[in-house]
Structure 1
């Protein structure tokens, strides 16, 4: 059986407001918002509220919960040590998360265990350009970049800029782009024990944003970046190409700032 508009049957326990849809804004009341009285698709609460509603209705109709197969079989594994390739180290003042084991694994996977070391993840002089020649193995490039993306999003915001740049050339990668990936591998090997350290203070959420100078002559694009800090280190961060074209470096800074404010409000 299928329930029509399933999640719309759930009752909300919290106060949730939404912007009015385009075409439903009345003149003079543009500042007003809609208060939801029922659950809605897209809400984080929707699956839980629907499950609770369904459970109440079924039990009130005389059905009984099967007690012989009610719970999952579980056991206490103790404190977490490694989760999805992320090492959790507990110290007196907090915790440190790093991916030394995972980095060793991907270095071996791409035959870079014995590569030389570099002090930065990218060459500040070299400019990555679009490939107009014969592309290299796209699948191999995508696999390597995907591994770097996982390291970056989990524990290494310091490679976010370079990984974001490399991701732009996934469709037609060149040897130049592959060499840039190898350089990131070399950097990770030399900083294999780097990670994020959380000590619990300061307990205030801090957000920072920045934008680069126009560094791609072909499309006059710039790169925005922002980071949120809590408990002593980064909890959310990104580095990506701005989608709009503006003739002022100052305006690019405002675009980056607007992005970080929007993320905070979300």
Structure 2
């Protein structure tokens, strides 16, 4: 008469169940990926000259955030140019583990700050007045003056994306013989794709928003095209968020090894079944 120790059948059954469970949980929960980028200022001159603050970028694979580029570049990165000679450039970016991302970019007066807070909110402290010289019109010097000009955006893997533009005390001015007058006051929170102009001098777009796909958004706080002079265009505060997505799972047990794992589980289950039957027969 065959005597089987009671624990052997239980061990085999547990081995089979454990192997099956390992295969079932081999695929972890799907991770949300996210991305964003930001650029504070770009100046294009007639003839092809370009001065740019560069771009800061953030990505996240669902577990780790990576940030590249300078989030607080100095004016020195713009090289030899006389459009902006004082102030602060900001181009902050974040890509969070939960599939959300945020960007904030623009210019502010000296001592101004740019930061991304909880939930991806854009936190800007306007500094002293910043001025960008746009060129001349006859004897007048045309300038863009503000305490801060910036855009921001957020995106999720839902997918969804939103963006805004803020212009703090922004205006276009004309200065002749030391006397400055305001040509055009700019709205603090312009609607998307607001167009303005100073006839014969400048064409302006505020809060330009474009999207290439659901859950992706690009926001430009302000862009100016000069109609005459050496300045071709100025672009302030480019923020890009998304598209963010749910990433495909990465199996803990490689797919190529899954049949082996399942085979081991099946063998263990078979052993458990045979031992159980023999034990039952022996008792009978």
Relative to the length of structure 2, the TM-score reads 0.23
Q: Which structure carries more helix by proportion? A: 1
**Which structure is richer in relative contact order (CA contacts within 8 A, separation 6 or more)?**
2
Q: Which structure carries more strand by proportion? A: 2
Q: Which has the larger radius of gyration?
A: 2
Relative to the length of structure 1, the TM-score reads 0.24
